[in-house]
Amino acid sequence: MKAPFVLLLPLMLALCLPGTGVADVLAARGVSLAHACAACHGPDGQSQGAIPSLDALPAADAIAALQAFRAATRKGTVMLRIAKGLDDADITAVATYFATRRQR
């Protein structure tokens, strides 16, 4: 019973630090997940080939696409396997990260 609490403790402490909020934690998770996307979708989500660029997608579109891949209702190859490993929080974090990249 202690293990889940011990795992959540660092997150709870981070949220209590000044200047750290849910948005900061979401952004950090998005950055972490985005590194895995770079191999196919290009650095910062800017693809150079036939694979779609992620930096031009609104967050809602990216969320819908990732959820469809995860549910296997959208055709794909690698993305079907990748999306199955993402929960809703991960999908929101990575979609938000790429959506905010184009605003910079």
The span from the CA of 104 to the CA of 87, in Å, is 27
CATH H-level superfamily of 20-101: Cytochrome c-like domain (1.10.760.10)
Report phi then psi at 52, rounded to 5: -60, 145
The span from the CA of 1 to the CA of 66, in Å, is 33
Per-residue pLDDT tens for 18-31?
Answer: 555 666 777 788 89
The span from the CA of 42 to the CA of 47, in Å, is 4
> Where are the domains positioned within the chain?
20-101
Per-residue pLDDT tens for 63-103?
Answer: 999 999 999 999 998 999 999 999 999 999 999 999 987 65
